Structure 1
Amino acid sequence: MRSFSRRSVVTMAAAALLLAGCGGGGDGDQPGGNAAGNGKVTIEWWHIHNIEPMLPVWADLVKEYQAKHPNVTIKVTPLQVENFKSKLTTVTQSGDAPDIFHTWGGGVLAQQVEAGLVKDLTGDIASWSDTLSPVALQSYQIDGKTYGVPHDIGMVGFWYNKKLFAQAGIEEPPTTWSGFLDAVKKLKAAGITPISLAGKAKWPGHYYWAYLSMRVAGLDALKKAAETKSFDNPDFVTAGQKLKELVDLKPFQEGFLGADYDKPDGQAATMGNGKAAMELMGQWAPSVQRDTSKDLGDDLGFFPFPAVEGGKGAATDSFGGGGGNAVAADAPPEAVDFLKFISQPENHRKGVETGAIFPAVKGTEDAVKDKHAKLVTEVLGKSTGFQLYLDQAYPPAVGQQVNDSVAELIAGSKTPEQVVADITAAAQAE
C-alpha cells in the first residue's frame, strides 16, 4: 500500500489558487478548449481514481456516455493525488483549467470560486440535485450556491475492538463524553491501552478538537467562526478543555507523539494488532488496518463520536469528507450533463459496489457490501448535519494551524486558550 496521508488527499496548496487568469480560450486539445466548430465537443476530465477498482468504472461510464452522445469526446486524465495537485497548479497559473476536475470542497473550493475558476452549478443541477445526499452536497455549497457534484462521502468515528471492550467490562459503546471517559478509565484499569493515535501526523489529533467543538459549540458556531475569522468563543475553549480531560488520562499508546498513521508501528497497525482498543478515524480505517497489520474481522466495531452533556451541538451531526467534481467556468453544457449521467443511481451504484466510494446518491446505500462500510453508511444515513474536516473546510493556512495547535495541546505544550488564539490569528492573517 502506498503511504497514506488523509491530509494529502483533502487539501491543496494555496499556490494552486493564485491564478494568472480565470480559464477560457484555446483549442479543443487544451484544458478549457471545448467546441471544435463542427458541432463536436471535447471535454477534459481530471480525476484522482488512477488505480483499480474505480479506474475501470469511470472508464466504462465514459465509453457509455460517448456511445450515447457521439458528438462528445471525453479526454480522461487519471492522476495520483500529488500529481493532480501539481498539474492543476500549472494549468491554472497559465489561465486554463480542465472542464471537469476533482474537488474536495471546503476552503480551497471557496478560493477557486473567488478566483472565478469554477462554475456555479446551482441552476444547472436544480432538476436532479434532490437525488444527491444532502450531507454529501454540503461540502460543495458556498453562500447558498453549489459548486461541485459529490461522488463520495464518508465520516470519522470511533473504531473499537469488541474483544478488548469485553475484557474491560464495557458492554456497550459510550454515547456521552462522560461515559467515554469512564470507558477509557476501565480500559486502563484492565491493562489495555485505550486509544491509538498518530501524534506525529497531527491531522488525526485534530479530529478530537473538531468533534468536541461540534458537540459543545454546534455547527453554526464553526460556520460563523469561518465567516468572521474569529474563534473567540468560550465554547471553543471548552472543547479544548474537554480534550485536555482526555489527554490527562494518558489514554494513548506509548510513543504516540512520534507515531505516523500507516507505518508498521503507527496508529492503524497498533489498532489492527490489538494493542489498543480504539482509534478515531475515517471510513478507510479497516482497510489500512489490514494493510499495515491484521484484519480484526468481526471484532471490529464502529460508533459515532459521543454527545457532550450540555452542549449545543447535536449528537447526530457527523464529521468527515469525500470527493466530488467541479466544472470549469467556461465548460460546455455537456460537462454538467456528464456529471448528471454518472450521478444516476444505476451508474453511481457501480462505483459503490466496488467499495472504493461511499453512497453520495440517494437509494444506493444497499450497494454497500463490506460489513464495516455498512456500519459507517448506517450512521451517515441518520446524520442531521455535516462538518467537513477543519483542515479542509478552512483555507489551507488556517487548517494547518488547527492541526499544529491541537497537536501541541495533546502534547501538553499549549493550553485550550492558546489553541483558540492561534487559530484566530491564522484566520485573520488570511
Structure 2
Amino acid sequence: MRRNRLITACFASGLALVAACSAPNATGSKNGGTSLTYMTFESPSLTSTFWDASIKHAESQAPGVTIRKLVAPGGDRDAYAKQLQASGQFPDLLQSITPSTFAPAGLLRPYDQAWVNANFLMPQGNALKGKVYIPPTNSQIIPEVFYNKKLFAKAGIAAPPKTWSEFMNDCARLKAAGITPIELGGGDPFAASMPLVGIISADVLGKNPKWLQERYAGKVKFTDDDVVAAATKYRTMVKKGYFEDGALGVKYADSITNFTSGKTAMYMMGSWFLGSVPKDHANDFGAFLVPTDNGSQVVPFAVGGSMAISNKAPDVAKATKFAQAWSLDPGNLKALIEGDGAFPMLKDKKLADYNVNVTRVYKDSYAYVTDQNTKVSSFGWATNDDAMPSGLNDAFYAASQALYSSDDVRGPLAKLDAAWDSATK
C-alpha cells in the first residue's frame, strides 16, 4: 500500500493532542474477551467503511477479540505509531508500518514462519533479518511510467520506449508537439522523488541489487559515480523542460487529475495509481518500466503487507489470530486490488479468484509481478533488509526537490551520505 508520509496538524500539537486523537490500550472488553487497539489509516479507496467491515469479519474468525480502531492522521502510520509509543499507547496491532523502525527496539512479534511459508508467494519478501513482522500479502511496482496512448499517437510515437535514449527522444517529440511530456506532483515530497526512485532502482540497483546493504556496510556512497549519473538523468529531464511548468508547486492529488484529464503524456508513480485510472476510458492508458540504457527491464518492487503485532499486546495469541484472519481474507485484497492497485501475493490464487473488476493496464502491470524478470527493491520503499534507516526517506525526498532546482548534483547526494552516516551511528 501507498505509504503517505505527509504529517497533519494533529502531530504538530505534540503529545497532549495525541491522547485526544487516539484511544488507550485496554485489556478487557464488556463481553469478557480481549480488547485490542488496531492502528489503521484511511484513503479515498480504503475508507472508514472498508476498515469497519474488514475488522468485523476478522473478529468473527478470532473469538473473544474486540478491536478498538485508531486512525493515523494524514495516513502517516510510522510517525503516528512513534507518537503513540512516546505517550505509552503503542497499538496492539499496526497496519502497514515499516518494521525496521520498531522491531530493533523489541516492539514487534514476528509471525510463525511455517504459517508465512504456507500462505504467501514470497514468504521472505519483506523479511527483516530473517523474520517476518508483516505478512507479505500484496506488492507494488514503485514506480511505473504510465502513459496516455492518444497523446503518444498525436506526437507520432507508436510504442513505449525500451531504452533511456528512446525515452528521452520521445520526451523531445512530445514537447515539440506542444504536449507536456511528464507529470510531476512535486509539491508533495514523496511524489517529487518518483523519477529519482525509478532511475536509481533501474540503473543502480539493477546493476547491483545489494547496493543498499553495501551502503550499510560503508562500501558504497550516494556520491559514487553510478548514483551521480542516475541523479544527473533526473536533472537533465528538468533542464530540458520535460515536466510541466511549476512542477514543484503541483500537489499530488492535482497531479493525478492533470494526468488522467490528458494535460500530460506520462506519469511516473507507484502502481497504486492503477486504482485512479478512469474506468470510462481506461484503454487510453498504458504502462512501462523506467527504461535502462541497454533496454534491460528492471522491476522496482516492494512487497507490502497487512499488520504488525505488538510484543506488548495484552494477549499476543489472540492478536495473532485476528491478524492472520485479516491477512488471508480475499475480500480485503479485493479492495486493495481495485482501489489501491495492489498486486495480490496469496498462494494458490489467481486474479479471477478475487472477483475483481480491473483494467487492461492493471493486468499488463501485474504481468511484471508474475513473470520471471529482474526484480529489485524499490529504492526508499522497501520494508525488508533494504529499508533505509529511519528518517532517510525524508532526506531523500528533500534531495529530490533540491535536484529539481539546482545543477549541483553532488551537493544533495553528499547531504544524503551525511544523513545516512548520522542515522546509522
TM-score (ref. length: structure 2): 0.79
Q: Which residue in 1 is equivalent to 2:6?
A: 8
1:330 corresponds, among 312, 316, 325, to: 312
* Aligned-partner Cα distance in 1 for 2:60–2:251: 46
Contact map agreement 2:40 2:72 (CA 8 A) in 1: yes
**For residues 83 and 252 of structure 1, do their structure 2 counterparts lie closer, same or farther at Cα, with a shift above 3 Å needed?**
closer
1:126 is matched by which residue type in structure 2?
A
Q: Which residue in 1 is equivalent to 2:284?
A: 299
* Structure 2 residues without counterparts, runs of 5 or longer: 15-22
1:376 is matched by which residue type in structure 2?
S
Other structure's SS at 2:109 match: coil
* Aligned-partner Cα distance in 1 for 2:13–2:118: 34
* Aligned-partner Cα distance in 1 for 2:336–2:177: 40
2:251 corresponds, among 240, 253, 260, to: 260
* Aligned-partner Cα distance in 1 for 2:249–2:57: 49
Q: Which residue in 2 is equivalent to 1:397?
A: 391
Other structure's SS at 1:175 match: coil
* Aligned-partner Cα distance in 2 for 1:117–1:276: 45
1:221 is matched by which residue type in structure 2?
W
Residue 235 in 1 paired to residue 226 in 2?
yes
Residue 409 in 1 paired to residue 393 in 2?
no
Residue 351 in 1 paired to residue 324 in 2?
no
Other structure's SS at 2:183 match: coil
Q: Which residue in 1 is equivalent to 2:377?
A: 387
Deviation (angstroms), 1:154: 2.4
* Aligned-partner Cα distance in 1 for 2:38–2:3: 24
Contact map agreement 2:274 2:340 (CA 8 A) in 1: no
Other structure's SS at 1:231 match: coil
Deviation (angstroms), 1:279: 1.1
Q: Which residue in 1 is equivalent to 2:18?
A: none
Deviation (angstroms), 1:152: 4.4
* Aligned-partner Cα distance in 1 for 2:54–2:194: 35
Percentage identity across paired residues of the two chains: 25
* Aligned-partner Cα distance in 2 for 1:41–1:404: 43
Q: How does 1:157-172 map to 2 (within 5 A)?
A: 157-172=144-159
Deviation (angstroms), 1:180: 0.8
Residue 114 in 1 paired to residue 104 in 2?
yes
Q: Which residue in 2 is equivalent to 1:24?
A: none
Deviation (angstroms), 1:162: 0.3
Number of aligned residue pairs:
395
Other structure's SS at 1:7 match: coil
* Structure 1 residues without counterparts, runs of 5 or longer: 17-28
Deviation (angstroms), 1:321: 6.7
Residue 202 in 1 paired to residue 189 in 2?
yes
**For residues 384 and 133 of structure 1, do their structure 2 counterparts lie closer, same or farther at Cα, with a shift above 3 Å needed?**
farther
Deviation (angstroms), 1:5: 9.2
> Is 348-357 or 163-172 further displaced after alignment?
348-357
* Aligned-partner Cα distance in 2 for 1:401–1:66: 39
Could you list the per-position Cα deviations for residues 13-34 of structure 1 after superposition, in whole angstroms to 9, with x for gaps in the alignment?
8999xxxxxxxxxxxx952x54
**For residues 130 and 183 of structure 1, do their structure 2 counterparts lie closer, same or farther at Cα, with a shift above 3 Å needed?**
farther
**For residues 377 and 83 of structure 1, do their structure 2 counterparts lie closer, same or farther at Cα, with a shift above 3 Å needed?**
closer
* Aligned-partner Cα distance in 2 for 1:349–1:415: 44
Contact map agreement 1:157 1:281 (CA 8 A) in 2: yes
2:268 corresponds, among 280, 286, 292, to: 280
**For residues 416 and 130 of structure 1, do their structure 2 counterparts lie closer, same or farther at Cα, with a shift above 3 Å needed?**
farther
Q: Which residue in 1 is equivalent to 2:135?
A: 149
Q: Which residue in 2 is equivalent to 1:308?
A: 293
Q: Which residue in 2 is equivalent to 1:26?
A: none
**For residues 260 and 51 of structure 1, do their structure 2 counterparts lie closer, same or farther at Cα, with a shift above 3 Å needed?**
closer
**For residues 238 and 183 of structure 1, do their structure 2 counterparts lie closer, same or farther at Cα, with a shift above 3 Å needed?**
same
> Is 381-390 or 183-192 further displaced after alignment?
381-390
1:334 is matched by which residue type in structure 2?
K
Cα RMSD between the aligned structures?
A: 3.7
Residue 97 in 1 paired to residue 90 in 2?
yes
Contact map agreement 2:77 2:96 (CA 8 A) in 1: no
Other structure's SS at 2:69 match: strand
> Is 400-409 or 173-182 further displaced after alignment?
400-409
TM-score (ref. length: structure 1): 0.78
Could you list the per-position Cα deviations for residues 81-100 of structure 1 after superposition, in whole angstroms to 9, with x for gaps in the alignment?
45866763443113342211
Other structure's SS at 2:399 match: helix
1:423 is matched by which residue type in structure 2?
L
> Is 278-287 or 416-425 further displaced after alignment?
278-287
